[in-house]
Amino acid sequence: MTDKPSRPAPAMRGLSTRAVHGGTAPDPATGARITPVYQTASYVFKDADHAARLFNLDEFGPIYSRITNPTVAALEGKMAALDGGVGATACASGHAAQFLAFLPLMAQGDHIVASRHLYGGSITQMGHSFSRFGWRVSFVDATDPGTVEAAIEERTRAVFTESLSNPGGIVIDIEKLAGIARQARVPLIVDNTLATPALLRPFEWGADIAVYSTTKFVGGHGNSIGGVIVDSGRFAWDARYPALTTPNAAYHGTVFVEKFGPLAYTVYGHAVGLRDFGPAMAPMTAFLTLTGCETLCLRMERQSRNAAALASWLEARDDVAWVSHPALPSSPCHELARKYLPAGAGAVFTFGLAGGYAAGRKLVESCRLFSHLANVGDTRSLIIHPASTTHRQLSEAERAAAGAGDDVIRISAGIEDIEDLVADLDQALGGT
């Protein structure tokens, strides 16, 4: 019996179609429609020559699940499809992804220009732990592109920003930063965790690399920790990036840019980053994240709508001092949100109570429906006081600069009915 001819891959123009089908064809071995959990450490080689080709990077395929795994590869394919990239590297966490994103770019003494409007853990990682590798970081106000340009120096190797900042809801002008980075011949790396590809695709605005904590909205259900790096494949790596442009002794002198072209950065992330540092994503995590991805566009639409409604309701209250959400006309980021986030300005925002620190603490402890925990992006609505939790490791000045001052409350809106969310905040604020 002859095999049936294979059908061509379907066209996937729409984002929701890519969220469902990208990277996840039926399992070729069993026909299973859902990508299986390949819970295995290693894989049998066909013969010695096959093993040699894999280890020499002459052929792509699974060798050991620290480096490659079919379930994880399916997620990588889906994320690349969603962002319009050439490849992706999945990792054990968002912080692991952030570290591996810089690994091919940096040597001792090299420099990063980073937005100061970042998640507190990112500021700590980049401002303190990166220095142990000899990597230098300058934090600047990325809302003023001129400060980014002024901070670039001879040994700058990347510009880094969040597209939509956590927790302040600040929208960064990616197109302008991309132009500055391009002029300096360095890649623009965008943490797109809060926006996700459902709301914003950084490569469409000139970014070169996107990173995600899939723990948040991409997975969407608060059930697993993970991260992904997506490469646009468009950056022209030159001699300032020797990890990619000079012979690699561990791979018999392979020069990644010569052998892999646009995939050089992604292959290096697997073949060196995951191999040597080991922050691999677990297959079960990839499976859970794949499931979450399928409803990403639906969830982001609902959660963004709920967040905008809550922000508007809070802004009208006398006991609320201020609200920061780019969907509000009062936000200084409103016009940028209209440009970059027309499908929704995100589900995370901050506000401050007239009663300050004490009133904020009381509010989070009085909520009944909102969960008081250190995460965002869940289907459930979440609330936290960043100054005493996620940003407590920062100084008072650093917290204020990151949009996490002592009076700040952060909300991550879920997919519940808006009437129930308003009622819970109302009672917590003493309205009922």
pLDDT, position 432: 54
pLDDT, position 318: 93
Other Cβ atoms within 10 Å of 163 Cβ, number: 26
User: For residues 80 and 203, what is the distance between their CA atoms, to the nearest angstrom?
Assistant: 11
Model-wide pTM > 0.75: yes
Per residue in 13-32, pLDDT (tens digit) is 799 999 999 999 998 889 99
pLDDT band at 10 (very low <50, low <70, confident <90, very high): low
pLDDT band at 431 (very low <50, low <70, confident <90, very high): low
Place of tokens 């469409």: 204
Per residue in 194-230, pLDDT (tens digit) is 999 999 999 999 999 999 999 999 999 999 999 999 9
Per residue in 24-55, pLDDT (tens digit) is 999 888 999 999 999 999 999 999 999 999 99
User: For residues 257 and 238, what is the distance between their CA atoms, to the nearest angstrom?
Assistant: 9
Per residue in 364-397, pLDDT (tens digit) is 999 999 999 989 999 999 999 887 777 677 777 8
User: For residues 86 and 103, what is the distance between their CA atoms, to the nearest angstrom?
Assistant: 19
pLDDT, position 5: 41
Residue 276 to residues 66, 250, 255, 385: CA-CA distances in angstroms? 9, 11, 18, 37
Please report how the helices 70-83 and 283-293 are oriented relative to each other, as an axis angle in degrees rounded to 10. Answer: 30
69: buried, middle or exposed (CB in 10 Å: 19+, 13-18, 0-12)?
Answer: buried
Which residues of 251-407 form beta strands (DSSP E)?
320-324, 348-353, 371-372, 382-384
Side chain identity, residue 204: E
Q: Indicate whether 7 pLDDT > 60.
A: no
Average pLDDT for residues 59-84, to the nearest whole number? 96
Whole-angstrom Cα Rg for the chain:
22
Per residue in 96-142, pLDDT (tens digit) is 999 999 999 999 999 999 999 998 889 999 999 999 999 999 999 99
pLDDT above 70 covers a percentage of the chain that reads 96
Q: Indicate whether 6 pLDDT > 50.
A: no
SS3 for 159-201, per residue? EEEECECCCCCCECCHHHHHHHHHHHCCCEEEECCCCHHHHCC
Task: For residue 93, give the 3-state DSSP assignment.
Answer: coil
Other Cβ atoms within 10 Å of 418 Cβ, number: 17
Please report how the helices 418-428 and 356-366 are oriented relative to each other, as an axis angle in degrees rounded to 10. Answer: 130
pLDDT, position 356: 79
> What are the counts of helices (DSSP H) followed by strands (DSSP E) for the chain?
18, 12
Side chain identity, residue 118: L
Per residue in 138-197, pLDDT (tens digit) is 999 999 999 999 999 999 999 999 999 987 789 999 999 999 999 999 999 999 999 999
- Domains of the chain are 15-293 (3.40.640.10), 297-428 (3.90.1150.10)
pLDDT, position 3: 40
Residues 6 or more apart whose CB falls under 8 angstroms from that of 63 comprise 42, 43, 54, 55
Average pLDDT for residues 281-307, to the nearest whole number? 98
Place of tokens 């007239």: 354
Give CB contacts under 8 A, 24+ apart, made by 144-152: 145/173, 145/176, 145/177, 145/180, 148/113, 148/115, 148/177, 148/180, 149/180, 149/183, 149/184, 151/113, 152/113, 152/180, 152/184, 152/186
Average pLDDT for residues 2-22, to the nearest whole number? 71
Q: Indicate whether 255 pLDDT > 90.
A: yes
**CB distance 277 to 103 below 8 Å:** yes
Per residue in 317-371, pLDDT (tens digit) is 999 999 999 999 999 999 999 999 999 999 999 999 888 778 888 899 999 999 9
Closest by CA to 376, choosing from 230, 200, 195, 210, is 195
User: For residues 38 and 40, what is the distance between their CA atoms, to the nearest angstrom?
Assistant: 6
- Could you tell me which residue, 401 or 220, shows the higher pLDDT? 220
pLDDT, position 9: 59
- Could you tell me which residue, 405 or 71, shows the higher pLDDT? 71
Residue 229, beta-bridge partner list: 89, 211
Helix (H) / strand (E) containing 161:
strand 156-162
Average pLDDT for residues 294-304, to the nearest whole number? 98
Closest by CA to 67, choosing from 91, 86, 46, is 91
Place of tokens 């980053």: 273
User: For residues 14 and 326, what is the distance between their CA atoms, to the nearest angstrom?
Assistant: 26
Average pLDDT for residues 58-74, to the nearest whole number? 96
234: buried, middle or exposed (CB in 10 Å: 19+, 13-18, 0-12)?
Answer: middle
